[in-house]
Amino acid sequence: MEQVTINLVGKTRTERLKGREYLVAPLSLLVPGVLNGSAGALYYPPEEVSKDPSSWNHVPIVVYHPKLNGHNVSARDPHVLNSQGIGLVMRAKTDNGRLVAEGWFDVESTRNVDNRILTALQAGKPIELSTGLFTENEPAEEGAVHNGKPYQFIARNYRPDHLAILPDEQGACSVADGCGVLVNEEVRDRLDVLLESHKPDVQEEPEMAQTESSPLVNEVIANCECWSESEEDRSVLNQLSEDRLRGWIDFAKKSDSSELVANAAREGFDDQAGNSHVFNEGTGEWTSQIKETPVDNTDSPEPQPQTADEWMASAPAEVQSAVRNAMDIETREKVALVEKMTSNISDDQKTDVIEVLSAKPLDELRTLSALTPHEEKPATNSVLNYFGASAPSTNLEEDTSDDVLPLPTMSYSD
């Protein structure tokens, strides 16, 4: 039997741009389908993904989505670029319906901002990413489903702001889904072509027995949404090595574990010392109840409740991540509600009103928002949405100014 081998991960190359050294790596930015971003479950149709790839050229690459005072902001800012910028997106295009490009990583900037990324690039290891972009969300038909995934809106007319690299987080369109740095987005297509060209003649050869990796293939299909029970997917998976199959399984289990940790954290949990911690969705804060431990020395002072910072420092790393994500979700909702309620207030009064409303609990803001009249757009709404752990930028505004000058009136009279 002839063995077919294929390199599943792209490689970096070294380039120079304006006298600076860059590592250039392939990017898979966006795959059509249903993705859960900061705006909820959105369907990204193939025709929208491939509509305007050139708009991604020269988009800044930053480490994580940029924030200011706890709120997400645009990366098109000198302070953000100085502190988080590590490169540019170049040569964006569509390939088999997917949005792909080259990531030009400034070697010096990447080393200074987050050396983990430079190390992974040099080793040829895949890295998670997340796109920050505006979309116009069109309401979908009731009960709309794509590939078994329900969605409420169709994302159209993408306007990119930045590309975030996530060295220790998972993007909504993850490496397992085919997005990321140094992820070969053509793996299935290449394998299909190679397998087809090497397929034995059924009339001349007996039916091939299932490979030894079949149990692993079954486990991959059962745990990874990106692989199905189709004959094509099974054929591809049966050609992969055991290490590669186990890698898919480990990644899927890690993702499930992270989701369980996040849900458990929001419902409350006890730490190793027996202290109880509960998340208050109304205030967006965590409250802790310290377990009382009897002591012989009655003169010793009573234990003091932990501060939020003390609790965070003592919590396991995965719980800290889940807590930060939960707090970010609550913060984004508060910001959206305040913006909605102050949209019709004059600029000279808006700052004071925003300060007062921002101090109120989330439950009260929800009630006030429901009572506040506001103008609704009939068909579509434009929001900034991020694929990944972070929320949309709030200060990137669309330029609607009219720069066309009126034609002069010419007189040719004597």
Contacts 24+ apart (CB under 8 A), 372-375: 372/340, 372/341, 374/340, 374/341, 374/343, 374/344, 375/343, 375/344
- 279 pLDDT higher than 80: no
Output DSSP code: residue 127: B
| Span 237-243, average pLDDT | 76
At residue 393 the predicted structure's pLDDT band, cuts being 50, 70 and 90, is: very low
At residue 235 the predicted structure's pLDDT band, cuts being 50, 70 and 90, is: confident
Residue at which a domain ends, from 134, 151, 185: 185
Is the domain of 169 the same as that of 200?
no
Percentage of the residues of the chain whose pLDDT score is greater than 90: 31
Q: How far apart (Å, rounded) are the C-alpha atoms in residues 242 and 248?
A: 10
Is the domain of 115 the same as that of 240?
no
Who wins on pLDDT, 128 or 352?
128
Is the domain of 115 the same as that of 212?
no
Is the domain of 222 the same as that of 87?
no
Is the domain of 46 the same as that of 95?
yes
Burial label for 201, CB within 10 Å (0-12, 13-18, 19+), is exposed
Is the domain of 120 the same as that of 259?
no
Which pair of tokens denotes residue 293? Answer: 């431990």
- The CATH number of whichever domain residue 36 belongs to comes to 3.20.16
Q: How far apart (Å, rounded) are the C-alpha atoms in residues 264 and 88?
A: 38
The pLDDT of residue 336 is 85
Overall domain count for the chain: 3
Residue at which a domain ends, from 159, 185, 211: 185
DSSP per-residue codes, 12-68? -EEEEETTEEEEEEEEEEE-SEEEEETTEEEEE-HHHHTS-GGGGTTPEEEES--EE
The pLDDT of residue 363 is 81
Is the domain of 259 the same as that of 283?
no
Is the domain of 163 the same as that of 225?
no
Say if 344 falls within a structural domain. Answer: no
Length of the chain measured in residues: 414
Is the domain of 106 the same as that of 232?
no
Say if 396 falls within a structural domain. Answer: no
Who wins on pLDDT, 362 or 81?
81
At residue 344 the predicted structure's pLDDT band, cuts being 50, 70 and 90, is: confident
Residue at which a domain ends, from 314, 343, 372: 314
Q: Give me the domain span that covers residue 277.
A: 272-314
Say if 110 falls within a structural domain. Answer: yes
Is the domain of 252 the same as that of 221?
yes
At residue 252 the predicted structure's pLDDT band, cuts being 50, 70 and 90, is: low
Burial label for 174, CB within 10 Å (0-12, 13-18, 19+), is buried
| Span 29-54, average pLDDT | 87
Q: Is 93 helix (H, G, I), strand (E, B) or coil?
A: strand
Is the domain of 76 the same as that of 127?
yes
Say if 306 falls within a structural domain. Answer: yes
DSSP per-residue codes, 155-180? EEEEEEEEEEEETTS--SS-TTTT-E
Is the domain of 173 the same as that of 213?
no
- The strand pairing partners of 42, in sequence order, are 35, 153
Say if 115 falls within a structural domain. Answer: yes
Say if 327 falls within a structural domain. Answer: no
